[in-house]
C-alpha cells in the first residue's frame, strides 16, 4: 500500500511539473535580447521617427512606435505615434528626475522611472548590427 501511495504521489508531482511553462517574453524582453545578442551602432544627435517606446510595469509591457530627439548623445524628448499619424509627447511624473540626462547605450536608452512604477525606454531598432556570419562545418573524413 505504501508503494502504491508513493507511486501515485510521484506521478501527480511529475504531472504538475510537466504543466509548468516557461514565462512568456514580453515585447521589451524580446527587443532587449536582440540588442544584447547583436549589439547596436551609436545613435548620433538628431530626430528619429523610427524608434520604439517601451512601457513596462511588472511583467507586462507595451511597445509603441514613436519618434525621439537626441542632443549631445542624450534623449531629450520622445513621442508616441498615434493611429491618425500624429505624435503625442510622452509626459509623465518622473521619479528622481530619471528623464533627465538619459544616455543611450547599445541602441537603448537607460530606463526612466515614473512615480507610478512604470519603466520607460526608447529603442533604436534600425541601429541593431546585422547578424554575424556563422562558421561553416567541415566535412567528415573520406575512406581514401
Contacts of 112 (CB under 8 A, 6+ apart): 92, 94, 98, 99, 102, 119, 120, 121
Please check whether residue 108 lies inside any domain of the structure.
Answer: yes
Q: For residue range 35-72, list pLDDT tens digits in order.
A: 999 999 999 999 999 999 999 998 899 999 999 999 99
Q: What is the mean pLDDT of residues 95-116?
A: 95
Please check whether residue 37 lies inside any domain of the structure.
Answer: no
Q: For residue range 90-101, list pLDDT tens digits in order.
A: 999 999 999 999
Please check whether residue 96 lies inside any domain of the structure.
Answer: yes
What distance in Å separates the CA atoms of residue 135 and residue 138, rounded to the nearest whole number? 9
Distance of CA 130 to the CA centre of its chain: 17
Please check whether residue 111 lies inside any domain of the structure.
Answer: yes
C-alpha to C-alpha distances, 96 to 60, 68, 100, 109, 127, nearest whole angstrom = 23, 21, 9, 17, 29
Structural domain span for residue 84: 43-127
CATH of residue 74's domain is 2.40.128
**Of 17-21, 29-33, 43-47, 100-104, which gets the smallest average pLDDT?**
17-21
Please check whether residue 10 lies inside any domain of the structure.
Answer: no
Work out how many domains the chain is built from and give that number: 1
Please check whether residue 132 lies inside any domain of the structure.
Answer: no
Extract the C-alpha cell encoding 89: 509627447
Please check whether residue 21 lies inside any domain of the structure.
Answer: no
Entry pTM: 0.77
C-alpha neighbours within 13 Å on the C-beta side of residue 116: 8
Please check whether residue 141 lies inside any domain of the structure.
Answer: no
Amino acid at each position: 500500500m505504501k508503494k502504491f501511495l508513493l507511486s501515485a504521489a510521484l506521478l501527480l508531482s511529475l504531472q504538475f511539473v510537466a504543466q509548468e511553462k516557461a514565462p512568456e517574453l514580453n515585447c521589451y524582453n524580446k527587443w532587449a535580447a536582440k540588442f544584447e545578442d547583436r549589439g547596436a551602432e551609436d545613435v548620433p544627435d538628431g530626430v528619429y521617427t523610427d524608434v520604439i517606446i517601451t512601457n513596462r510595469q511588472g511583467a507586462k509591457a507595451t511597445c509603441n512606435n514613436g519618434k525621439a530627439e537626441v542632443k549631445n548623445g542624450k534623449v531629450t524628448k520622445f513621442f508616441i505615434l498615434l493611429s491618425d499619424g500624429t505624435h503625442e509627447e510622452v509626459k509623465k511624473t518622473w521619479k528622481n528626475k530619471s528623464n533627465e540626462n538619459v544616455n543611450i547605450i547599445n541602441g537603448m536608452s537607460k530606463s526612466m522611472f515614473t512615480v507610478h512604477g512604470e519603466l520607460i525606454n526608447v529603442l533604436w531598432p534600425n541601429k541593431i548590427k546585422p547578424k554575424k556570419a556563422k562558421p561553416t562545418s567541415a566535412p567528415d573524413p573520406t575512406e581514401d
